[in-house]
Structure 1
Amino acid sequence: MLKHRLILAGGMLALAASCSAGAAAVADKNMIRAHLSFLADDLLEGRETGSRGYDIAARYVASQFLQYGVKPKGDKDGYLQHVPLRATHLVQESPVVELRTARGTETLAWLDDYAVSGSLLEDQSEVTAPLVFVGYGIQAARLGHNDYANIDVKGKIVVVLAGKPGSFPTEEGAHFASGDHKRGLAVQHGAVGMVTLQTPVAEKAAPFSKNKDYRHIPAMSWVQADGTPAREVASMQNRVSLSIPASKKLFSQVDLRLDDIYALATANRPVPHLDLNMSMRMFKKSLRSEVSSSNVAGMIEGSDPVLKNEYVVFTAHLDHLGQVKERSGDNIFNGAMDNSTGVATLIEAARLFTASGVQPKRSILFVAVTGEEKGLLGADYFATNPTVPRGSIVANVNLDMPLLVYDFNNVMAFGAEHSTLKGTATRALKKMGMDLIPDPWPEMGLFTRSDHYMFVRQGIPSIFLATGMGSARKDENPGKLWNEFLTKRYHQPNDDLTQPINYDAAARFAQLNYNIAREIADAPVRPAWNKDDFFGDTFSK
């Protein structure tokens, strides 16, 4: 009888322990609130990459990982992965852009007519060359599109429309519309500069006038082992973007008008390629400096003797735009939604794994990355120089700017259509009574504008999660709330803690990410690209 009582007691204790562990693995909104309140505070001065405020934030994340038993996975058995960077500030009074025709020279107005950044390679940059219009400046063999067919741009400045043809698939199109793709092609064809023309579609997504707000914010690149900045080419140091009125001036010496080209683009008809019968002179001075920053990497080790050598990587960018001292009034870009919410979610998801008492089968890396606002630099550096063996990363789930001000009941997962991660995310969502929705902003090209894309470029299936367009409350309009944020708060100082943050929604978002991580980590088969998928075929073979 005593033996049976002891067995029963032991069973009850085991059950209690199991229930306790299960209960502990529930997201805590107050934990998230604590993280968010610290990371978005004025004390951190906007977490500019390479700044003291960013370094404080990085050490905060590392301390949370340590507290929750997340093992260090940075450099030298620590949490921090050093990321060497180069920064450039445009000398504000230096830029000159001139249009030269047989009739004379017209000088364009900086920030009203054109925007330009400093050079990462040169203290002084200058070029004068003929202008050639090459449509969108895209080559996409799979889509039967080649803007460089039958036109010579060697030694010339290419003029390209912002964005992509409307007929292109949304995310594949975002790849071709990216600056990296267009600059790379221009270099291949011998161009010596690039001019990007604003379009009505681009203007709606990102008004040209916003460039004035960012004129004092430096551009950056991570530095390779040979001391050169990554993804920078000497012949592409002279490039500008033009406003719509200034863009129209480039067609003053030809029979075709830019409005005609806009109309063709809107109708998804081919646009012509032609010499514009004018030249452009570009000139600027830059102040360059070496900068140091860090990614923060922690690991939950897997339990399976084989699968623990595979890694699921969760990322969220820790940096924001910093403090612009030249700006009057509120000059701190706190980045509460962009992306303190993502980092707070990342930390809480990591805590849930240790709180559950049940190890995942695969190992999970939680990485807060630097330099996202400067061109996805920290993610690019980590994906290129991982702190785990190359080829061992099986998936990336990226958390960037979840808008946590409403009672969301569905989720956007950019990139999900390209791999088996769509099924994984769908299963995790359905357990919580939610589902996935398609990209509501195809014109914004978000698939290439957040950190997961750097993992895609390394051939790793990846998704980028954000709160969706549905709410459990009838009095909330998520589409309106997103639009208000994107037009009034995105990359502005008022993306701060005064917003009506819904911490219950924040906890649900963290729980969802924990559930997705569990699904990926415990699945018998690693995630895979879909058959004949463009990104899988382009980057994983």
Structure 2
Amino acid sequence: MKSSISALFLLLSFGAHAATEQVLPKADANRIQAHLRFLSHDLLEGRDTGSKGHEIAAQYMASQFAQLGLQPAGDKNDYLQQIAFRQAHLVQDSAKLELNGPDGKTALEYPRQYLTSASLSSEVSELQGKLVFAGYGIVAPELQHNDYANLDVKGKVVVILSGKPTSFPSEEGAHFGSGSEKNRHAVANGAIGMITISTPLAEKVRPYQNLLNYLHMPSVSWLQADGQPANQYPQLQNSAYFSQEAAALLFAGAERSLADIYADLEQNTSPAGFALPTSIHFNKRSEHKTISSPNVAAILPGSDAQLKDQYVVYTAHLDHIGLAKTVKQDKINNGAMDNASGSAVLLETARLLSNLPQAPARSVLFLSVTGEEKGLLGADYFAHHPTVPLQSMVANVNLDMPILTYEAADVIAFGANHSSLQSAVADAVAKLGMSLSPDPWPEQALFTRSDHYMFVKKGIPAVFLVPGLTSMDPNVDGAKKFGEFLHSDYHKPSDELNDKFNWRAAQRFTEANLQIGLTIANDPVRPTWNEGDFFGTTFGQ
């Protein structure tokens, strides 16, 4: 009876909200442009994690939250949540790798034949051991797949294929095929090192030659209370990524050649593992440095006595990739679209919500995160060190790189199909004459590739919101505009404030974002995972 009375009270409370539903204010395109202009200015030098430029940007976000009268939700009654990180750079000339196989010893050439990144666990890394091929290195009991079944890798170095079997569902497969999952299972089975080899599919999607652009990118991880980097596996003494040319050498004299393995992949068959007649000796050195970089968090308190202790969380990453090392002229990666645009939309959404005559029923948490470009690090830290109770967060709406070059007639909410947020988002944007479109690129598993996924891994339903591909102007091809940015400007100095921006598009997307958050915040029923959904079942609290 008590639960029924409580439910009735919530419905009556919601009815009061609905009866006095406000006419929502219009977003101010000039304010969005002003935020974006500052956050993507050359002065900030690309807002790299731990840089002075990102620190300036974080102070800007905090000052805007304070101006709106939002409550600080960082550390010690501040808007900033300071995070200590370990940053590791590879000493480029230190990488030395030698194979010892049936044809004798072969020294491989870095970076032409293999790539390796700095170690976060040790400044001096040395790996020596026998090699074992372990398929994709995936353990996925839900998909009846275990590459380590009947395979002895204890004290050995596993050789694994990049990616995942093509038969795997895209998003679930992205989880099982992630580096963190592969590392975890390698360690659980006793491996001491890992070699990942390129595949024909990997070469089509992300050619080995293109990976050379990331040679100087540091490895970064947030530090735990004991001073050790989070999410690392020091048991894996060294790791590398081999080109197809180098990968063939691993299978010389083995029971199956690399060509045989690739033939299996062509037939959509996942090859079984086996021992290789080759051993490896691999050394490198890394330089460690401790840096600090903050998340910025603020709260708009809810107005409903029963719901104000629950939170709808808006996120947008503030960091970008800093200065380019291989560009001779304009070296500043300003990150205007990625993600100054999302941060500007977040600020304007916060302003509109805070100026409503009546606050939403639930509280709203605005979170500007750092370290997204380094591996979703700021969001992961917040998920492990939340400044409000984890179980009180009912949903996350994430804004990452909205392409604001055309006025969209629809929105895409990656991940909406996994929870009741799908109907919430569809209902919300319908009020603006917009529609919710399905994920146009399911094979890319974008649901697992931005900050919201750190909330999903804590059991919180989430959506990753971007403008859809249908333009309001029939003469404008939204998909083409989206593709042009990815091809010409993504992670390049050309991603800067210019006349490609459509400020009406920014205004319209902000209003959609506002309506979505308000719909979730005022719904008397907490968002839920769909029955039997993989992510809800795997991570639901």
Pairwise TM-score range, normalised by the shorter structure: over 0.9
CA deviation vs aligned residue, 1:12-42 (integer Å, no higher than 9, x gap): xxxxxx99x846x211111111111111111
- In the other structure, the counterpart of 1:144 is 144
Q: What is the identity, as a one-letter code, of the residue corresponding to 1:201?
A: L
Alignment pair present for 1:466 and 2:466 = yes
Alignment pair present for 1:350 and 2:355 = no
* 1:184-263 pair list within 5 angstroms: 184-263=184-263
Go from structure 1 to structure 2 and tell me whether the alpha carbon gap of 1:292 and 1:103 turns closer, same or farther (over 3 Å shift).
same
Go from structure 1 to structure 2 and tell me whether the alpha carbon gap of 1:64 and 1:119 turns closer, same or farther (over 3 Å shift).
same
Tell me if the contact between 1:221 and 1:230 (Cα under 8 Å) persists in the aligned partners.
yes
- In the other structure, the counterpart of 1:502 is 502
Alignment pair present for 1:88 and 2:80 = no
- In the other structure, the counterpart of 2:98 is 98
Pairs aligned (count)? 522
TM-aligned CA deviation for residue 377 of structure 1: 0.8
Question: What secondary structure does 2:508 align onto?
Answer: helix
Partner Cα separation in structure 2 for residue 519 and residue 266 of structure 1 = 47
Partner Cα separation in structure 2 for residue 250 and residue 443 of structure 1 = 30
- In the other structure, the counterpart of 1:332 is 332
Go from structure 1 to structure 2 and tell me whether the alpha carbon gap of 1:32 and 1:205 turns closer, same or farther (over 3 Å shift).
farther
- In the other structure, the counterpart of 1:389 is 389
Partner Cα separation in structure 1 for residue 414 and residue 97 of structure 2 = 37
TM-aligned CA deviation for residue 233 of structure 1: 1.4
Q: Quick check: 323-332 or 73-82, which moved more?
A: 323-332
- In the other structure, the counterpart of 1:316 is 316
TM-aligned CA deviation for residue 518 of structure 1: 0.4
Partner Cα separation in structure 2 for residue 341 and residue 73 of structure 1 = 23
Partner Cα separation in structure 2 for residue 469 and residue 425 of structure 1 = 17
Go from structure 1 to structure 2 and tell me whether the alpha carbon gap of 1:267 and 1:443 turns closer, same or farther (over 3 Å shift).
farther
Tell me if the contact between 2:102 and 2:252 (Cα under 8 Å) persists in the aligned partners.
no
Alignment pair present for 1:286 and 2:283 = no
Partner Cα separation in structure 2 for residue 469 and residue 249 of structure 1 = 45
- In the other structure, the counterpart of 1:517 is 517
Tell me if the contact between 2:383 and 2:390 (Cα under 8 Å) persists in the aligned partners.
no
Q: TM-score, normalised by structure 1?
A: 0.92
Question: What secondary structure does 2:45 align onto?
Answer: helix
Go from structure 1 to structure 2 and tell me whether the alpha carbon gap of 1:459 and 1:199 turns closer, same or farther (over 3 Å shift).
same
- In the other structure, the counterpart of 1:264 is 264
Tell me if the contact between 1:174 and 1:447 (Cα under 8 Å) persists in the aligned partners.
no
TM-aligned CA deviation for residue 323 of structure 1: 1.4
TM-aligned CA deviation for residue 499 of structure 1: 6.3
Partner Cα separation in structure 1 for residue 444 and residue 105 of structure 2 = 35
Tell me if the contact between 1:296 and 1:367 (Cα under 8 Å) persists in the aligned partners.
yes
Go from structure 1 to structure 2 and tell me whether the alpha carbon gap of 1:414 and 1:155 turns closer, same or farther (over 3 Å shift).
same
Alignment pair present for 1:374 and 2:382 = no
Question: What secondary structure does 2:484 align onto?
Answer: helix
* 1:421-436 pair list within 5 angstroms: 421-436=421-436
- In the other structure, the counterpart of 1:437 is 437
Partner Cα separation in structure 2 for residue 208 and residue 486 of structure 1 = 19
Alignment pair present for 1:414 and 2:414 = yes
Tell me if the contact between 1:201 and 1:443 (Cα under 8 Å) persists in the aligned partners.
no
- In the other structure, the counterpart of 2:13 is none
Identity %: 52
CA deviation vs aligned residue, 1:202-260 (integer Å, no higher than 9, x gap): 33333332332222222110111111111011122411112233333333333534344
Q: Quick check: 356-365 or 253-262, which moved more?
A: 253-262
Partner Cα separation in structure 2 for residue 200 and residue 483 of structure 1 = 23
TM-aligned CA deviation for residue 193 of structure 1: 1.0
Q: Quick check: 25-34 or 498-507, which moved more?
A: 498-507
Question: What secondary structure does 1:97 align onto?
Answer: strand
Tell me if the contact between 2:127 and 2:237 (Cα under 8 Å) persists in the aligned partners.
no
Partner Cα separation in structure 2 for residue 205 and residue 64 of structure 1 = 40
Q: TM-score, normalised by structure 2?
A: 0.92
Go from structure 1 to structure 2 and tell me whether the alpha carbon gap of 1:253 and 1:32 turns closer, same or farther (over 3 Å shift).
farther
Q: Quick check: 504-513 or 439-448, which moved more?
A: 439-448
- In the other structure, the counterpart of 1:4 is none
Q: What is the identity, as a one-letter code, of the residue corresponding to 1:446?
A: L
Partner Cα separation in structure 2 for residue 516 and residue 71 of structure 1 = 22
CA RMSD of aligned residues (A): 1.9
Q: Quick check: 264-273 or 290-299, which moved more?
A: 264-273
Q: What is the identity, as a one-letter code, of the residue corresponding to 1:210?
A: N
Partner Cα separation in structure 2 for residue 467 and residue 200 of structure 1 = 32
Alignment pair present for 1:77 and 2:77 = yes
Partner Cα separation in structure 1 for residue 37 and residue 207 of structure 2 = 30
CA deviation vs aligned residue, 1:330-389 (integer Å, no higher than 9, x gap): 221211121111111111111110222220000000100001111111001111111112
CA deviation vs aligned residue, 1:365-423 (integer Å, no higher than 9, x gap): 01000011111110011111111123111111111111112222222222112111111
CA deviation vs aligned residue, 1:424-477 (integer Å, no higher than 9, x gap): 111112222333333333343322221111111111111111222222233333
- In the other structure, the counterpart of 1:273 is 273
- In the other structure, the counterpart of 1:174 is 174
